[in-house]
Amino acid sequence: MMDKLYPWKEINGGISAPLGFYACGVKAGIKYKDKYDLALILSETPASAAGTFTRNVVKAHPLVLTEKHLADGKAQAVIVNSGNANACMGEIGDNAASEMAKVTAEELALAPEDILVSSTGVIGQELPLAKVIAGIRTAAKEVQALKGKVSESEKTEYAHQAASAIMTTDMVCKELALELQCAQGTIKLGIMAKGSGMIHPNMGTMLCFITTDAQVAQDKLKGLLKAATDESFNMVTVDGDTSTNDMVVILANGLSGVAPEGQEWENFSAMVREACCTMAKAIARDGEGASKFLEVKVAGAASLEAARMIARSVCSSNLVKSAMYGEDANWGRILAAAGYSGASFDPNKADIYLNGLQVAAHGQGLPFSETEASVLLKNTDIKVDVVLGDGKEQAVAWGCDLTHKYIDINADYRT
Amino acid sequence: MMDKLYPWKEINGGISAPLGFYACGVKAGIKYKDKYDLALILSETPASAAGTFTRNVVKAHPLVLTEKHLADGKAQAVIVNSGNANACMGEIGDNAASEMAKVTAEELALAPEDILVSSTGVIGQELPLAKVIAGIRTAAKEVQALKGKVSESEKTEYAHQAASAIMTTDMVCKELALELQCAQGTIKLGIMAKGSGMIHPNMGTMLCFITTDAQVAQDKLKGLLKAATDESFNMVTVDGDTSTNDMVVILANGLSGVAPEGQEWENFSAMVREACCTMAKAIARDGEGASKFLEVKVAGAASLEAARMIARSVCSSNLVKSAMYGEDANWGRILAAAGYSGASFDPNKADIYLNGLQVAAHGQGLPFSETEASVLLKNTDIKVDVVLGDGKEQAVAWGCDLTHKYIDINADYRT
């Protein structure tokens, strides 16, 4: 998946690849009997930590708690459950989130403030707390038992269970580990994510957890995470429905002994951004209802913000998404969706390409072969290029088509 | 449709009900052979005029021209074609729009600047100008022949042809006439509109034309039209796709001799707003793909803007729309859509009702009978009430559900 020109390389170990990180997943029976549904990530030592959270006014209870626990810029463990979002439950929900942190802390001999809590699943239903607590106790024992082990394959297997435990209707388990050679040593990064291109029963929550053994101050880590999120997860447009539970968290425990500076910092930042973009693309691609993956690139924009707004608008237009499902080279819908994005641009300078075939120039349609277009659009990957004549900024958004299956999935899942 | 408490009443005559207005529709053969596709509205005397236009950066050629022709606040005729949007065609498109104004002016012995031009249909295809010009000549003759006629039923019939001529995939012809008794005489209002709840081949363009014989200064007319549009057409949320051709235009020729002031102005304003809301609801209701009409009312908001943002967000959420199609009382999606609307509110004070059944209180789910909910949601009209505890402002948005048929219609219409 990674290009050879990058200064980093892919390794095994998933979320627990970086030094001093351990992770596991257990089957707590929250919603299903035989599914990994509780993940625990532990760092041997306190780590710098930062998070970005849903912009929804309605925030799930664990998010509120986790934001509080991140106030000091430190954390040492993350506990995540799937199968229940623990959202819109009032005091019961607040208590459940606190209890998850408290029990995790007890079992790991840490302070509750060093535990980050996250949930995904159906909203408005009470978390089966007894099951979750029992699961936490099991997970804590497992993860501590891993501390002595050095077998890479075993670490990788447990990390995979953790990544599986946060899946809901995801078809594909999303995890990755990378390492970057620096002058003073090697920095490793682990990442795991959940979410799918089409919205789902669980409100299409997007979760991502990142671990690294780099030494990074909390303020720098926070800035880096925000930039990476803006470029990756915030560019996955599905249908505009933003979950109450979305969360991206990064922990940097410094155990590599390497504090990247200068060019090494640039490389490290690029590695974090690339890891996030890889997860974001996997999320866009992984839709039960989706039949095609869309990548919309806007170039030649006057500002980065304009490029992003236009890319997101085109990629989330129901009309564009339906046309791509129908393999219809409907450039008019693309230009119109760019037009109502809220960004200002000169439509008379806009060129449009579909999988490389130019279909419009200077805001007007070109004569093109419908046969050729139709063949190109039979691809499961559709690349839309919108080239403006306004400047030099560019952005990419990822999404998927709008299909009959989307309606099937979302018309009646709750009951 | 009109409540008896209103100070106005419904009359016949459609768009040409007000004194001195004449309208007709002809079959110019623009896209189909045997369909009314060109409408002409004429006022005997110059009228105060105002318009509101699409907020899409990509504006169709007739819109650009019409905005110019409205600069002096006066107009005397409107020429509208369906079957072709005359959008994204560069110079050819600008010329075609100018030509439509020029020929109409010639035939009616008016200045081109007094003609407003409007189009709806597929974008990016050349307007068959010869057919349109021939149609304009026929329509101009017809409309002028009407001047002597006083038969109300004949006027009504011709007005209906005009309203039919602007339909594209609309299932229902949308027109209405109202009259308001004032101390000095009677003010009449005619309105016709097109657009449908689901987006369509023609980009779901929304057009509306309003005529009145009230005496209204242009600046007052402009303010009134903006307020009415904000409350009506801007609250129809379909799927966020905004057409390049959307246009609402009002002409007031003053021939009633009544210049409403004070309470009469309030009544007149309310009549215009109510007429626009009636058209807006008809548009939301009229979707080929739609199986249900949604009305989302937000009350108790801190500001009008917040109420509108939340109402629109809930009404346009694909998740909410899919749930309504599936007759699933999924209040969590409603609260979540309110949450990402961009408006700030206290979710812990939000109550939610579905066709009168309260399903959530203070941001949390209530135990309710799924059977009762399911019966209520079998209605083709679904009313969602979101009652906030933040203030006294309220707003209503209209839309429809998201169905399999929507995908059928939009996946492949162009080719």
Asked if the structure places residue A169 within a domain, the reply is yes
pLDDT score of A211: 98
- Choose among B89, B322, B363: nearest Cβ to A364: B89
Q: Cβ separation of A327 and B412 shorter than 8 Å?
A: yes
Query: What's the total number of domains in chain B?
Result: 2
Q: How many angstroms separate the CA of residue B324 from the nearest CA in chain A?
A: 7
Nearest alpha-carbon partner for A31 in A130, A158, A117, A122: A122
Catalytic annotation, pick one of B52, B169, B205, B278: B205
- Residues A320 and A367 placed together within one structural domain of the fold: yes
CATH number at residue B321: 3.10.20.340
pLDDT score of B241: 61
Residue where one domain finishes, among candidates B254, B285, B316: B285
In angstroms, the CA B254 to CA B187 distance is 9
CB B249 within 8 A of CB B66: yes
Q: How many angstroms separate the CA of residue A329 from the nearest CA in chain B?
A: 8
Q: How many angstroms separate the CA of residue B177 from the nearest CA in chain A?
A: 33
pLDDT at A201 over 50: no
Cβ–Cβ contact B340 with A under 8 A: yes
pLDDT at A386 over 60: yes
List the structure tokens of A15: 């979320």
pLDDT-derived band at B200 (thresholds 50, 70, 90) equals: very low
**Quick one: closest CA in B to A200, which residue?**
B319
DSSP string, A231-292: HTGGGB-SSS---SS-EEEEEE--TT-----HHHHHHHHHHHHHHHHHHHHHHHH--SS-S-
pLDDT score of B152: 82
- Residues A373 and A276 placed together within one structural domain of the fold: no
B194 appears as a binding residue in the annotation: yes
Q: How many angstroms separate the CA of residue A261 from the nearest CA in chain B?
A: 38
pLDDT score of B412: 60
pLDDT score of B408: 77
State the average pLDDT over residues A101-119.
98
Residues ≥6 apart with Cβ < 8 Å to B211: B15, B16, B17, B18, B21, B41, B43, B189, B190, B191, B250, B251, B252, B253
Q: Cβ separation of A199 and B370 shorter than 8 Å?
A: no
Asked if the structure places residue B170 within a domain, the reply is yes
- Give B-chain residues touching A339 at CB under 8 angstroms: 56-58, 242, 244
pLDDT-derived band at B289 (thresholds 50, 70, 90) equals: confident
Task: Give me the residues of B, 100-159, that contact A with CB < 8 A.
Answer: 122-125
Q: Cβ separation of A240 and B318 shorter than 8 Å?
A: yes
Q: Cβ separation of B199 and A319 shorter than 8 Å?
A: yes
pLDDT at A2 over 80: no
pLDDT score of A5: 78
**Which range of residues forms the domain containing residue A266?**
8-285
User: How far from A174 is each of A161, A191, A313, CA to CA, in Å?
Assistant: 11, 8, 26
pLDDT score of B170: 86
Of A115-119, A166-170, A212-216, B246-250, the poorest mean pLDDT is in A166-170
Per-residue pLDDT tens digits for A310-328: 999 999 888 888 889 999 9
Residue where one domain finishes, among candidates A239, A268, A285: A285
- Give B-chain residues touching A325 at CB under 8 angstroms: 407, 411
- Choose among B58, B344, B412: nearest Cβ to A57: B344
Asked if the structure places residue A2 within a domain, the reply is no
Cβ–Cβ contact B370 with A under 8 A: yes
pLDDT score of A204: 65
pLDDT score of A150: 65
- Residues A261 and A344 placed together within one structural domain of the fold: no
pLDDT score of A123: 82
Cβ–Cβ contact A61 with B under 8 A: no
State the pairing for strand pair B393-400/B357-361: unpaired
Of A73-77, A80-84, B317-321, B341-345, the poorest mean pLDDT is in B317-321
Per-residue pLDDT tens digits for B34-71: 999 999 999 999 999 999 998 888 999 999 999 999 99
Cβ–Cβ contact B344 with A under 8 A: yes
State the pairing for strand pair B38-53/B247-252: antiparallel
State the pairing for strand pair A21-26/B115-120: unpaired
pLDDT score of A256: 98
- Residues B394 and B262 placed together within one structural domain of the fold: no
End-to-end CA distance of chain B: 39
Asked if the structure places residue A371 within a domain, the reply is yes
Q: Where are the beta strands (DSSP E) in A54-103?
A: 74-82
CATH number at residue A93: 3.60.70.12
Residue where one domain finishes, among candidates B252, B285, B318: B285
- Residues B115 and B224 placed together within one structural domain of the fold: yes
Q: Cβ separation of A407 and B404 shorter than 8 Å?
A: yes
- Residues B311 and B200 placed together within one structural domain of the fold: no
- Residues A275 and A337 placed together within one structural domain of the fold: no
Cβ–Cβ contact A185 with B under 8 A: no
- Give A-chain residues touching B58 at CB under 8 angstroms: 335-336, 338-339, 347, 363
- Residues B336 and B405 placed together within one structural domain of the fold: yes
> Could you identify the residue written with the tokens 């229940």?
A84
Q: Cβ separation of B241 and A364 shorter than 8 Å?
A: no
- Residues A28 and A176 placed together within one structural domain of the fold: yes
Query: What would the 3-class secondary structure string for chain B be?
Result: CCCCCCCEEECCCHHHCCCCEEEEEECCCCCCCCCCCEEEEEEEEEEEEEEEECCCCCCCHHHHHHHHHCCCCEEEEEEEEECECCCCCHHHHHHHHHHHHHHHHHHHCCCHHHEEEEEECCCCCCCCHHHHHHHHHHHHHHHHHHHHCCCHHHHHHHHHHHHHHCCCCCCCCEEEEEEEEECCEEEEEEEEEECCCCCCCCCCCCEEEEEECCCCCHHHHHHHHHHHHHHCHHHECCCCCCCCCCEEEEEECCCCCCCCCHHHHHHHHHHHHHHHHHHHHHHHHCCCCCCCEEEEEEEEECCHHHHHHHHHHHHHCHHHHHHHHCCCCCHHHHHHHHHCCCCCCCHHHCEEEECCEEEEECCEECCCCHHHHHHHCCCCEEEEEEECCCCCEEEEEEEECCCHHHHHHHHCCCC
pLDDT score of B1: 45
pLDDT-derived band at B198 (thresholds 50, 70, 90) equals: low
Tell me the percentage of chain B whose pLDDT exceeds 70: 93
Asked if the structure places residue B385 within a domain, the reply is yes
Question: Which residues of A are identified as catalytic?
Answer: 205
pLDDT score of B10: 96
B168 appears as a binding residue in the annotation: yes
Q: How many C-beta atoms lie closer than 10 Å to residue A370's C-beta?
A: 12
Residues ≥6 apart with Cβ < 8 Å to A188: A11, A13, A17, A18, A19, A177, A178, A179, A180, A212, A213, A256
- Residues A281 and A297 placed together within one structural domain of the fold: no
Asked if the structure places residue A1 within a domain, the reply is no
The chain-wide mean pLDDT, for chain B, equals 92
Q: How many angstroms separate the CA of residue A90 from the nearest CA in chain B?
A: 7
- Residues B204 and B313 placed together within one structural domain of the fold: no
Q: Cβ separation of B415 and A374 shorter than 8 Å?
A: yes
Q: Which of A324, A340, A390 to mutate to test the interface with B (most CBs of B within 10 A)?
A: A340
Asked if the structure places residue A138 within a domain, the reply is yes
State the average pLDDT over residues B217-227.
97
- Give B-chain residues touching A333 at CB under 8 angstroms: 203, 241
Asked if the structure places residue A3 within a domain, the reply is no
Q: Cβ separation of B414 and A328 shorter than 8 Å?
A: yes
Cβ–Cβ contact A11 with B under 8 A: no
CB B14 within 8 A of CB B176: yes
pLDDT at A349 over 50: yes
Identity at A97, one-letter amino acid code: A
pLDDT score of B415: 46
- Residues A302 and A384 placed together within one structural domain of the fold: yes
Which H or E element spans position A72? none
